[in-house]
Amino acid sequence: MTTTRQAKHTQAIPRNELLDVLAVARNEQAADLRIDNVKIMNLVSGGYMDGPIVIKHDTIVGFGPEYANHPATKVVDAQGHTAVPGFIDAHMHIESSIMAPQVFESLTLPLGLTTIVCDPHEVINVIGTTGLEWFLRSSAQAYQNQFIQMSSCVPALPNCEINGAEFTVDQMKDYIDSPYVLGLAEMMNFPGVINGDPLVLDKIALFAGLAVDGHAPTVSGRPLDAYIAAGIGNDHECTTKEEALEKLAKGVTVFMREASVARNLDALAPILNEYSSAAICLCTDDITPYDMVHTGHIDAMVRRLIQKHGVKPHLAYRVSSYTTAQHYGLKRLGLIAPGRKADIVLVSDVENVTISKVFVGGKDVSELNLVENAPARLAASNPPTFKSVIREPLREEDFAYEFEVGKKYRAVEVIHDEIITGEEHLTCTGFTADGNPIFDKPAAFLTTVERYGHQVKPAFALVTATGLTRGGLASSVGHDSHNLTAMGATRKDLVDALNAIIATNGGFSAVLDGEVKAHLALPIAGVLSTESAAFVHQTIEQLKAASRECGVFLHDPFMQLSFLPLPVIPKLKLTCNGLFDVTQFKFVPLEVE
């Protein structure tokens, strides 16, 4: 077993290709590609350098005036645009895009995203190593550098939820030598790390020669010291400047996150300067196709740093590529320099991040026919579309609960654009004509339903701050165990929305007046579509419109809904086993005693 970075994807140039690269550098052989009339952003010492850039196979041979007119099979006129390294997403979950890896690539490579570091723990939580092996097959197909981190917490919180699989340290040993595996994914069980849980420490020790990712929201002081001392190298959960500065000072690389729900870039942007840029990376964590299409990906984060926060372009671009490559030890990525992989983004406007052309491994992305070829490549990867939602159709009586006037009940309070939640106590003040409770504050029903064939009675609670006043929404994406989660104005709305996704082996559904207004099937483990990016985006638009008809005012209602069961993010969450107080690490009853 080897745990060195040297054997990983992109790290070495094959000997036969290296000999050709050397021959081009010696001016004894033609290049495959020469990019003329180009400026090169210097992410190491600042300023710009002159082209052209000369490429052989997937490798940059060199750049500068000495390569002017060097023979090349293909010559591209960059029209005076600026070349920057391909963007790198330091931490993300492809499953949150709702798209298969092949489809994700077709949407994001044209946005300059040439490398991702992905934790596939959504699929692994549902179908175990079957899902992991599919992801690795997909990585081997990809033009995009799709690296995989080994999911550290499957299940996310043992004995708290019911999920579909375990992923043990012994199983991890079978995959650590894969060229696409960079290390251990986000260690969400920070109490286990801090308290020296031997099973947790065994996982960290296994990946000691590779990257070990962190997940420590609000952890500070001596507990943070213990967490870092165990071998954690980064964290993407900072939500305040103060939290990020403490972690930076203690040697943690901070991943600034801008997800579809957890939007932390604005809060953290002030920490970015010439010094800290050596230990800051950009990540999206969980982002939907809607936001990719309407806003962008890492390119959007760079744009926002420059335009809203006045960050110098060189610093913004540095943390979008070079720092991340350095952090993960990816020595051939993140820089336009001799011997580096030719992942290059041409921008006509540096501050607006206006992308004119993208190269991945020296190939022009616009010529790869990614959209047209995605279905065949997906089929060739043998996606796991077998039945994984094993739940009998639900009935209204499954959600029976006797509310009483004058009594107080706990509600999960949604916090807009955050995955943390609050806790509210609502008083029942009466009942509607059809028997639904009325509270002293607007609320809807919330449920999480076990989906793995045990037919456990649904967990039932209340949710506030969503705006929902009629109809219902349901999702088979429910972090991290991916049971079925729904909110509805009535019990019937819950049933209608949930049964719609049970019928399609998972999905998103919005119902109103007994009618399914919008629906997206997710046949891969109940978390991924097999459709094109355009279809997924269009259907999400329909789901958002239907959600607004139900009164929901959340920016991304299904993404926000999917985090309401997650028992490792404060404060009050609803797992399939009941309400869980994350701060106390215990289950609590619906009724306030």
Note the pLDDT tens digit of each residue in 101-156: 999 999 999 999 999 999 999 999 999 999 999 999 999 999 999 999 999 999 88
* Nearest-10 crossing angle of helices 533-549, 101-108: 90
pLDDT above 50: residue 338:
yes
Q: What is the pLDDT of residues 9-62, one digit of tens each?
A: 999 999 999 999 999 999 999 999 999 999 999 999 999 999 999 999 999 999
Under 8 Å CB-to-CB from 63, ≥6 apart: which residues? 40, 49, 50, 51, 52, 53, 54, 336, 338
- Side-chain half-sphere of 589: how many Cα atoms within 13 Å? 7
- Measured CA to CA, the distance from residue 522 to residue 385 in angstroms comes to 9
pLDDT above 80: residue 6:
no
Q: Report percent pLDDT > 70 for the chain.
A: 99
**Single-letter code of the amino acid located at 365:** V
- pLDDT, position 4: 59
Structure tokens at 558: 């299904």
Q: Please state the φ and ψ torsions of residue 459, each to the nearest 5 degrees.
A: -75, 145
SS3 257: strand
Architecture of domain 15-80: Roll (2.30)
Q: Where are the domains of the chain?
A: 15-80, 86-334, 396-592
Closest C-alpha to 508, from 264, 290, 258: 290
pLDDT band, very low/low/confident/very high, at 505 (cuts 50, 70, 90): very high
Decide: pTM greater than 0.75. yes
Strands (DSSP E) found in 284-432: 344-349, 354-360, 363-364, 408-414, 421-431
Structure tokens at 359: 């190269």
DSSP string, 211-226: EEEE--TT--HHHHHH
Under 8 Å CB-to-CB from 233, ≥6 apart: which residues? 211, 212, 213, 214, 252, 253, 327
pLDDT above 80: residue 74:
yes
pLDDT band, very low/low/confident/very high, at 72 (cuts 50, 70, 90): very high
- pLDDT, position 231: 97
- pLDDT, position 403: 96
- pLDDT, position 1: 44
Q: What is the pLDDT of residues 374-412, one digit of tens each?
A: 999 999 999 999 999 999 999 999 999 999 999 999 999
CATH topology of domain 86-334: TIM Barrel (3.20.20)
pLDDT above 70: residue 228:
yes
Under 8 Å CB-to-CB from 371, ≥6 apart: which residues? 106, 532, 533, 534
Cβ neighbours of 439 (radius 10 Å)? 19
Helix (H) or strand (E) holding 88: strand 87-92
